[in-house]
């Protein structure tokens, strides 16, 4: 419709006869803080038009403005403590409707054609799990058409539609990141840029470790472990989606033009960067967990299984587990596990309800713990990593309460008030400190 009147930005050029297409297709995702008010929206619009004017095809995924989503949740809570999930999803999706149309207006005001699309219009098809829907397909015909006609396509993040019922759904926390990666996969974008308020993924939280530096390149696997271990800059689901569909994810700041962190498994171009894989990607930490200890458990087969069945049935995911060696005299043992502190009540309630059946003595609950995780694909071939980690913590006078390891990760639980010291000690011990501010972590090997 607009193809013939595309202002000062030409429609996407057709591939040449040799099949070479010089135009890059970019998906950009902006979070709520990047579009918090009219001025912020205008700033983002300027950045988008610059990419468009450089000749790229640009799809933008946008979250609701600032605190809009929280305000809408407050409004619902003033009506009822138990809002039906279907209605909650309709309510919350109003937020992106506002931000996406305002952003399209701001771009149009800069002389570049833009059209906004709801999750439904963009073809984001989900299952019917209101409030935490999963994307099952992306039918991006309308987005492709909008690009072909010379538009920047603005898409509402966080939302989709259940095709069977034509009902609006939301993807849950961090859903806009997943929308962006899913769209990038559907239209075969060259890169999915996730704009945020930090410069990228760091070797540790710079608020705790001033010498932490930005990671310029990291594998999906390491990024997944970083995210699962408390690094909040990228949503776990979005990284998982990116890995499954091979979408390069570029995490960068919306407040600067600096390159951020590229999440990819592609090998570096020859001659660029480090040729050997570094040992460690980074040190993540997490203060949001709590520890439950089930004291005096009969040390007979099946008891531990029953404990975790009961906890799972209450809808709680557990993280680390430690079972003490049983005391020969009593035949009793203790079992400790960690879980999100928000779920503590639920797990304690479920275990209390089944105390007689399981036959344990008592429960202990401790939310003053912290978890430190050391992540690096390189540690697969370096068996000394755990020993070095424990040594660094010992030297810093920090007691380890629980340990868990995977192929590319070692996690330990400490006292919460020792966590910052622990992170700094480990960061230094593994030579991650830098006065330069940037490191190349070359995690992927072309998987």
38 binds its own copies (CB under 8 A): yes
Of 9, 23, 72, 73, the one binding its own copies (CB under 8 A) is 72
For the bound state, the minimum distance from the C-beta of residue 71 to its own copies, rounded and expressed in Å, comes to 10
Pick the stretch among 86-94, 293-301, 330-338, 421-429 that binds its own copies (CB under 8 A).
Answer: 86-94
HEC sequence for the chain:
CCHHHCCCCCCCCCCCCCCCCCCCEEEEEECHHHHCCHHHHHHHHHHHHHHHHCCCEEEEEECCCCCHHHHHHHHHHHHCCCCCHHHHHHHHCHHHHHHHHHHHHHHHHCCCCEEEECCCCCCEEECCCCCCCCEEEECCHHHHHHHHCCCEEEEECCEEEECCCCEEEECCCCHHHHHHHHHHHHHCCCEEEEEECCCCCECCCCCCCCCCCEECEECHHHHHHHHHCCCCCCCHHHHHHHHHHCCCEEEEECCCCCCCEEECCCCCCCCCCCCCCCCCCEEEEECCEEEEEEEEEECCCCHHHHHHHHHHHCCCCCCCEEECCCECCCCEEEEEEEEEHHHHHHHHHHHHHCHHHHCCCEEEEECCEEEEEEECHHHHHCCCHHHHHHHHHHHCCCCCCEEEEECCEEEEEEEHHHHHHHHHHHHHHCCCCCCCCEECCCCCCCC
User: Considering only 16-24, 100-108, 199-207, 310-318, which stretch makes contact with its own copies by CB under 8 A?
Assistant: 100-108
Q: How far is the CB of 190 from its own copies (least distance, A)?
A: 27
**100 lines the binding site for its own copies (CB under 8 A):** yes
Of 121, 277, 326, 434, which lies in the binding site for its own copies, with binding defined by CB under 8 A? 121
Residue 105 lies near its own copies (rule: CB under 8 A): yes
The yes or no reply on residue 435 touching its own copies (CB under 8 A) is: no
Which residue lies nearer to its own copies by CB, 114 or 284? 114
| Residues in a beta bridge with 190 | none
For its own copies, the closer of residues 166 and 435 by Cβ is 166
Q: Which of 62, 104, 233, 375 binds its own copies (CB under 8 A)?
A: 104
Q: Which of 6, 9, 23, 76 binds its own copies (CB under 8 A)?
A: 76
Residues 159-188 close enough to bind its own copies by CB under 8 A: 166
User: Residues 16, 82, 256, 435: which binds its own copies (CB under 8 A)?
Assistant: 82
Q: Which is nearer to its own copies, 50 or 240 (CB)?
A: 50
Q: Does 153 bind its own copies (CB under 8 A)?
A: no
For residue 132, state whether it binds its own copies (rule: CB under 8 A): no
Residue 88 or 208: which CB sits closer to its own copies? 88
Of 142 and 266, nearer to its own copies (C-beta) is: 142
- Using the contact rule CB under 8 A, the part of the chain among 107-115, 178-186, 199-207, 218-226 near its own copies is 107-115
Closest distance of CB 98 from its own copies, Å? 5
Task: Kindly tell me the burial class for residue 292, based on how many C-beta atoms sit within 10 Å of its own C-beta (0-12, 13-18, 19 or more).
Answer: buried
Q: Which position among 70, 87, 197, 272 is part of the footprint of its own copies (CB under 8 A)?
A: 87
Q: Among 34, 69, 115, 216, which residue sits at the site for its own copies (rule: CB under 8 A)?
A: 115
- Candidate residues 49, 118, 373, 418; the one interacting with its own copies per rule CB under 8 A: 118
- For 137, the token pair is 């397909």
Q: Does 97 bind its own copies (CB under 8 A)?
A: yes
Residues 164 and 128: beta-carbon distance below 8 Å:
yes
# residues near its own copies by CB under 8 A:
37
Using CB under 8 A as the criterion, which residues of the chain lie in contact with its own copies when the complex forms?
A: 38, 41-42, 72, 75-76, 78-80, 82-84, 86-88, 90-91, 93-95, 97-98, 100-102, 104-106, 108-109, 114-116, 118, 121, 142, 166
């Amino acid at each position: 419709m607009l193809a013939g009147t595309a202002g000062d930005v030409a429609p996407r050029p057709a591939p040449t006869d040799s099949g070479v297409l010089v135009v890059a297709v970019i998906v950009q995702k902006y979070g709520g803080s990047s579009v918090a008010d009219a001025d912020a929206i205008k700033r983002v619009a300027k950045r988008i038009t610059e990419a468009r004017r450089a000749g790229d095809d640009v799809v933008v995924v946008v979250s609701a403005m600032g605190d809009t989503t929280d305000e809408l949740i407050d409004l619902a809570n003033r009506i009822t403590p138990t809002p039906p999930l279907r209605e909650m999803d309709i309510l919350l999706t109003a937020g992106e409707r506002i931000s996406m149309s305002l952003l399209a207006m701001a771009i149009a005001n800069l002389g570049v054609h833009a059209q906004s699309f709801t999750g439904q219009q963009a073809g984001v098809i989900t299952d019917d799990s209101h409030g935490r829907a999963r994307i099952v397909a992306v039918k991006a015909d309308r987005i492709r058409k909008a690009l072909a006609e010379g538009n920047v396509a603005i898409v509402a993040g966080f939302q989709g539609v259940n095709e069977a019922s034509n009902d609006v759904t939301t993807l849950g926390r961090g859903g806009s990141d997943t929308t962006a990666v899913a769209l990038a996969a559907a239209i075969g974008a060259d890169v999915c840029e996730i704009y945020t308020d930090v410069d990228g993924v760091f070797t540790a939280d710079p608020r705790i470790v001033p010498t932490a530096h930005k990671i310029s390149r990291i594998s999906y696997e390491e990024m997944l472990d970083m995210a699962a271990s408390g690094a909040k800059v990228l949503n776990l689901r979005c990284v998982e989606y990116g890995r499954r569909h091979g979408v390069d994810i570029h995490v960068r700041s919306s407040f600067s033009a600096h390159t951020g962190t590229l999440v990819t498994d592609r090998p570096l171009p020859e001659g660029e960067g480090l040729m050997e894989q570094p040992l460690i990607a980074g040190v993540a930490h997490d203060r949001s967990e709590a520890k439950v200890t089930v004291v005096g458990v009969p040390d007979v087969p099946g008891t531990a299984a029953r404990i975790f069945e009961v906890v799972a049935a209450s809808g709680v995911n557990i993280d680390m587990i430690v079972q003490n060696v049983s005391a020969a005299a009593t035949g009793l043992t203790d079992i400790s596990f960690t879980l999100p502190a928000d779920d503590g009540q639920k797990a304690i309630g479920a275990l209390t309800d089944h105390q007689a059946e399981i036959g344990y003595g008592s429960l202990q609950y401790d939310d003053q713990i912290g978890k430190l995780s050391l992540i690096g694909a390189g540690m697969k071939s370096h068996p000394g990593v755990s020993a070095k980690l424990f040594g660094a913590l010992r030297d810093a006078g920090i007691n380890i309460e629980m340990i868990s390891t995977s192929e590319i990760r070692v996690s330990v639980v400490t006292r919460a008030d020792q966590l910052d010291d622990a992170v700094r000690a480990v960061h230094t011990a593994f030579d991650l400190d830098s006065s330069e501010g940037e490191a190349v972590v070359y995690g992927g090997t072309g998987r």
